[in-house]
Amino acid sequence: MPSTVLPALVLHAALGMLSDVAIARSPGFSLGVLLFIGIAQVFVQVWVARDALAYFGYRPAMPIVGALSLYLQSLLIGAGILLGLILLVLPAFYVAARWYLAGTILILHGGGRRAAMQQSWDLLESRWASALGVMLLLMVPMLAPLLVLFYPLPFISDHGFVSLLVVNLVAAVGTVGGYLASVSLLSLVQPANTELREVFS
């Protein structure tokens, strides 16, 4: 397991708690808080994904400071998924599944955002259902804060800080698990040693 996983879980949980507290105390600054937290989480994503890619034998090209490029790519992907949701729910899931590897590919190659999205689209042409399954499975813990917000459980709502910590740790497991799952899926679809085979063929 990559060495960055545990620190990333703690960082994501801390960022989630910071977001919850900041929004509760200053609702007028919610958008700014979410923007800051989103960018900070993308830096953590690049850090974890680079470590996981190296663990699987890849040499990631994107430095950690290149995280803003990944953030912009996530906005493009989000717009595509939103368009799919507006048209119909099923296309949104299909588009999200086909672009599931885009962030990891961008971190690996450090190239253009649209090129990474196209490569993900091409790689998952016949395996999009696997990506969708992984995505939906990991979405459950990521949505834990929303579930607790709308359906407060008695044993969580009575304990303030502890409940905030537990909910954000569960969400962090889903988020960091999503980064690791994306790298793992890429290693299955396009193993690291195929790059060497292409060089020597």
Q: What is the pLDDT of residues 67-108, one digit of tens each?
A: 767 676 677 677 777 776 677 666 778 877 888 888 888 888
- Across 102-123, average pLDDT: 82
Q: Look at residue 163 and tell me whether its pLDDT is greater than 60.
A: yes
- Average pLDDT, rounded, for the chain: 75
Q: Look at residue 120 and tell me whether its pLDDT is greater than 60.
A: yes
Model confidence band, residue 145 (pLDDT cutoffs 50, 70, 90): low
Comparing CA positions, the residue from 23, 114, 122, 106 lying closest to residue 67 is 106
- CA–CA dist 182, 189 (Å, integer): 10
Comparing CA positions, the residue from 118, 4, 141, 143 lying closest to residue 60 is 4
Model confidence band, residue 130 (pLDDT cutoffs 50, 70, 90): confident
CA distances from 195 to 58, 110, 200, 201 (A): 9, 15, 9, 10
| 119 within 8 A of 108, measured Cβ to Cβ | no
Based on the number of CB atoms within 10 Å of its own CB, is 166 exposed (0-12), middle (13-18) or buried (19 or more)?
Answer: middle
Of residues 199 and 118, which shows the higher confidence score?
A: 118
Of residues 24 and 14, which shows the higher confidence score?
A: 14
Q: Look at residue 149 and tell me whether its pLDDT is greater than 70.
A: no
* Residue in the structure block whose two tokens are 């450090």: 110
Retrieve residue 28's tokens: 């007028």
Model confidence band, residue 196 (pLDDT cutoffs 50, 70, 90): very low
- CA–CA dist 32, 4 (Å, integer): 27
Q: Which of 17-26, 46-55, 70-79 has the lowest mean pLDDT?
A: 70-79
Q: What is the pTM of this model?
A: 0.66
pLDDT at residue 201, rounded to an integer? 42
Within the chain, how many helices (H) and strands (E) appear?
Answer: 11, 0
Helices (H), 29-159: 30-55, 67-87, 89-98, 102-109, 113-123, 128-142, 144-150, 154-157
- CA–CA dist 163, 104 (Å, integer): 32
Retrieve residue 125's tokens: 């042409």
pLDDT at residue 200, rounded to an integer? 41
* Residue in the structure block whose two tokens are 């395996």: 127
